[in-house]
Chains A and B, each alone.
Chain A
Amino acid sequence: MILGAKNLTLSYESSIIVPQLNLFIKPQEVVTFIGPNGSGKSTILKALARFLKAKNGVVYLNGQDIQTLSTKQVAQKLAILPQTPQAPADLTVLELVSRGRAPHLKWWQRSSSHDYEVINWALTETKTMKLADRLVGTLSGGERQRAWIAMALAQSPEILLLDEPTTYLDICHQLEIMELVTKLNQELGLTVVMVLHDINQAARYSHRLIALKKGQIVAQGSPQQILTAELLADVFRVKAIVKSDPESGNPVCLPYGIAESCSECLS
């Protein structure tokens, strides 16, 4: 287990978002949280990234309580890309990616040639080398997302957390990001934990899906195992046809209506 949670209770102020969660993430696994709005996906990701302190329970990183590790130690192992990261308007891609080296530098240290090698490598891996000179603010959505992933890579992490990395992107750029994530997982052995809204993309690019409803795990397992019409009706409250993708053998779902159980949820 590289990342995990035990008896985790998460809350904002007094309202409890996640009552009790146990989680085990294996090294080099691609795990995706799926679930409707308000099911606690992003909240769990924030807790795994140590942004949110647990009301109860512990998040483990390599077997140690993440809150007892220094934030710098965590940053050397784990990188996170929030949903809508912000950057000053005049920041270049190169400068942005260079920021990723911060966890490896003491405050008085300047970037060494090793740091530049890593930055160079991160730019190459994400195909952002030719954008290095551009301002982050002038990039298209897909380019910007790759630049931010390059920054996360410059941290040389073992684990990458992504919060809805494909939202706001057109379909081609969505797939481009997913293919990049897959490549990073396969070639570098990066462990990836992400939140996705697109169930078919989640099924296509993940080893394991975790379906959440009201902060609780309803089902988890390989996409083939858990993605059924019943689950979609239960978790997302939609009627859907689930078929097997002839190309990959992964399940694909086609929602065609709102499930009857929905009226109960609304009342």
Chain B
Amino acid sequence: MSKPEVAIASGSIKHRRQWLVLSLTLILAVTAVTASIAIGPIKMSFKEVWQILLDKSVEQDVYYQIVWNIRLPRTLVGMLVGTGLALSGAILQGVMRNPLADPHIIGVSAGAGFAAVAALTIIPNFPSSYVPLAAFIGALTSAAIVYGLAWKAGVSPMRLILAGVAVSSLMSAGTSGLLVVFSENVQAVMGWLVGGLAGRSWFHWHQLWPYIAVAGTISLFTGRQINILLLGDEMATGLGMRVERIRVLLIALASILAAAAVSVAGLIGFIGLIVPHIIRLLSGSDYRFLLPASALAGGSLLVLADIGARMVMDPIELPVGVLTAAFGAPFFLYLLRRGQKH
């Protein structure tokens, strides 16, 4: 006998749905990237976009310059940032077994913000190209402090959340303090604090992709572990998992993903919290599907929001966080209401 007969029936319905959602997020990602390159003050068709991307013989062309030097890097950075935030949020929600967990909860955002603001305000003539590095270090340091404070013969999710809230508040207070004391530098800092993809280039891409590629790839293989962790610490131990070791690995992955994302794009909220929920409502809590689908959807949502941020009040750019909320919140609420009926 192979699979139980009922297994095949149940497997097929649920599985088909999971693969469908995963395929849709992939299509969404390709569409979002193409649209983001096509749409702008100078418009192109989707066909032209792919011709320019695939054909290098037209290098002199102004369209070629717009695509390769401006829109493609910005779009790809947006894709990576969204992917990093969504993966980080999905992992943390699983590790903490808490639907409200997101990259902010482990102090990553506040730490990045504090380090960036401190560097820009305290150090005279701090080169802005080093801001991502400062933010990245600040983010990881902050996450490490939170983990260290939560440690007491092991880390319980509840202590982790409380330590995260405390450290984040402290860091935010520090950030506010710095902004008041060094108010003459606020302008330089504000753009980064609000977050966005304006002016993001290959420079940022090169800073970002190694972290997202490595941490993202590893995290895609953790789905089964998180599935076990969702049964509770004791049950996971009972099933032979080294809970503490897996948890610290997962938190480290989530921290690196979120730290890399916010260091390049600033404090973009919402994606890390909402995207995993949207995927969960669509295809269930099986992390083997939730992780890749969230990664694709997170990137897509941010890139789509960025198109809006550029175009809605053209020529003024809106902060992309405003748009991610405007896109995602209603959709999320719709799914929530629909889900309650069953």
Residues of B within 8 A of A (CB): 1-4, 6-7, 9-11, 14, 97, 221, 224-225, 227-228, 230-232, 234-235, 237-242, 284-286
Contacts and interface: CB of A to CB of B under 8 A. Distances in A.
A194 interface: no
B240 A107 contact: no
Interface string A188-205: 000000000000000000
A212 to B, nearest CB: 21
Interface string A19-51: 000000000000000000000000000100111
Contact of B239 (A107, A113, A119, A155): A155
A88 B227 CA distance: 9
Interface residues of A, number: 41
A219 interface: no
A76 interface: yes
Contacts of B6: 94, 129-130, 132-133
Nearest to A95: B286
Nearest to B283: A90
Contact of B232 (A50, A85, A130): A85
Interface of A: 46, 49-51, 70-76, 79-80, 82, 85-92, 94-95, 99-100, 102-103, 107-108, 113, 116-117, 119-120, 123, 129-130, 132-133, 155
Contact of B237 (A51, A76, A99): A51
A91 B1 CA distance: 24
Which among B10, B235, B285 has the highest number of chain A CB atoms within 10 Å? Answer: B235
Contact of A132 (B4, B228, B232): B4
A82 B232 contact: yes
15 contacts: A71-B241, A72-B240, A73-B240, A74-B240, A85-B231, A86-B235, A87-B231, A90-B285, A102-B240, A116-B2, A116-B7, A117-B1, A119-B7, A120-B1, A132-B7
B290 to A, nearest CB: 10
Contacts of B231: 85-87, 99
B128 to A, nearest CB: 42
A107 B224 contact: yes
A80 B238 contact: yes
B1 A132 contact: no
A129 B221 CA distance: 30
A148 to B, nearest CB: 9
Which among B6, B221, B239 has the highest number of chain A CB atoms within 10 Å? Answer: B239
Contacts of B227: 99
Contacts of A50: 237
Given A120-B1, A132-B6, A90 B240 contact: no
A113 B285 CA distance: 25
Contacts of B285: 88-91
Nearest to A110: B224
B341 to A, nearest CB: 15
